[in-house]
Structure 1
Amino acid sequence: MAGTEATDSLEGQFLIAMPSMADSRFEHSVIYVCSHSDQGAMGLVVNQVARHLSLEDLLIQLDIVNDDDAIRLPDSIRGMNVHKGGPVEVERGFVLHSNDFMLTQSTLEIGNGICLTATLEILRALAQGVGPSHAMLALGYAGWAPGQLENEIQANGWLTAPADPDILFDPDSESKWHRALGALGIDPAMLYSDAGHA
């Protein structure tokens, strides 16, 4: 039987930064919450692209492909962004992906058809064109100590919303914050206004 923390868990949800977000690293960010319990929380920023690094470059750096193989990479990989998943362990890679690809003992099924894998095997599969149909790669993650995320939400740092795979996996990272707010029926311009507060 599930405990109360399972009901209150934000796992599989979006965190959408409020315009008043004090931490500039998370300004206008959308975070997919991968885990959340009384032990703390972990999530990946899904709308900040690491402009200095392409997935093709990363695959070469990790010796998954060489320069010759890189020419033959599937188009879906060639156009895939590498995201800045958060300020913690920025050298560590995480792939959020559809559940049509699973690695035994490596893939964590989060829910709603979305999984997390953090091994090189999924990058090899993507490079060979046999990986998941939808994937998003992030370096680093965002982490919260027990109770910290709840406090930030209470202090109006974040809005929460059900994660939409169409927003999550969309290569257009620039529009994700506005679209995530729009899915809640919120016009971002209204959040900036001080008028109308009761």
Structure 2
Amino acid sequence: MKNVIPSYLKHQFLIAMPHMADPNFAHTLTYIVEHTANGAMGLVINRPQDLSLADILEQLRPDIEPQPLCQHVPIFTGGPVQTDRGFVLHPIGSTYQATVELDGLALSTSQDVLFAIADGVGPTKSLIALGYAGWEAGQLEAELADNAWLTCPFDADILFNTSSELRLEAAAKRLGINLSLLTSQAGHA
């Protein structure tokens, strides 16, 4: 018998199927940051909060008045784990104190990237999220087997150039799927 080598989903999108019952993930598009035999980590990229970068900066550096542009930089709900921890996805370019490269994309977790964005010297495109999605070993694979998710190749255009409310549909369309035509009775023909 041959060993089956699992295919990991790092640097891919997860599209929540219409029947996803978990309110943390219903109607979400998630970018997979890491996926190994030990589990997976991702960031939901289509759930803006009622917070802006200006709100975060008031907490991080209260003595400096945020630039007006900071009011228009949304903060996303990256997932239900460690919702007070920030993550910034951006194209590779400048590196910040805590930056990891992910196949042409960078993930920074230090405050210096936020200050650089606020001061107009940071990455021109970015997505700022609080919290992340985490899966234990085998959990994501089991959810995929249960048809909870579709996988889609990463597309920087969807992440950086598509408005958040259209990202889920854009990823599904990339697969040739119209989510509104899928029923919640997956697998019951």
Q: Which secondary structure state, in structure 2, belongs to the residue aligned with residue 94 of structure 1?
A: strand
For residue 23 of structure 1, what is the aligned residue in structure 2?
A: 22
Select the residue among 120, 126, 140 that pairs with 1:149: 140
Q: Structure 1 residues 151, 63: CA separation in 2 closer, same or farther (over 3 Å shift)?
A: same
For residue 39 of structure 1, what is the aligned residue in structure 2?
A: 38
Cα displacement (A) at 1:66: 2.1
Q: Structure 1 residues 61, 23: CA separation in 2 closer, same or farther (over 3 Å shift)?
A: same
Cα displacement (A) at 1:103: 2.5
Greater fraction of residues in helix: 1
Cα displacement (A) at 1:54: 1.2
Supply the distance in 1 between the matched residues of 2:129 and 2:34 (Cα, whole angstroms): 16
Percent identity for Structure 1 against Structure 2: 45
Amino acid at match of 2:18: P
Q: Which runs of 5+ in 2 are unaligned?
A: none
Amino acid at match of 1:179: A
For residue 89 of structure 1, what is the aligned residue in structure 2?
A: 82
Cα displacement (A) at 1:80: 1.5
Matched, 1:101 2:125: no
Supply the distance in 1 between the matched residues of 2:23 and 2:184 (Cα, whole angstroms): 20
Matched, 1:11 2:2: no
Using structure 2 for the length normalisation, give the TM-score. 0.90
For residue 168 of structure 2, what is the aligned residue in structure 1?
A: 177
Cα displacement (A) at 1:25: 1.3
Supply the distance in 2 between the matched residues of 1:78 and 1:48 (Cα, whole angstroms): 17
Cα displacement (A) at 1:189: 2.1
The answer to whether the 8 Å contact 1:100/1:133 transfers is: no
Supply the distance in 2 between the matched residues of 1:34 and 1:65 (Cα, whole angstroms): 34
For residue 55 of structure 1, what is the aligned residue in structure 2?
A: 53
Q: Deviations over 1:50-105 (max 9, x none)?
A: 11x111111111117623xx2x35x3x4421100000000000000011022236x
Cα displacement (A) at 1:196: 10
Q: Which secondary structure state, in structure 2, belongs to the residue aligned with residue 129 of structure 1?
A: coil
Q: Which runs of 5+ in 1 are unaligned?
A: none
Q: Considering only aligned residues, what root-mean-square deviation do their CA atoms show, in Å? A: 2.0
Q: Which secondary structure state, in structure 2, belongs to the residue aligned with residue 14 of structure 1?
A: strand
**4+ runs deviating over 3 angstroms:** 193-198
Amino acid at match of 2:109: A
For residue 106 of structure 2, what is the aligned residue in structure 1?
A: 115
Aligned length: 185
Amino acid at match of 2:59: Q
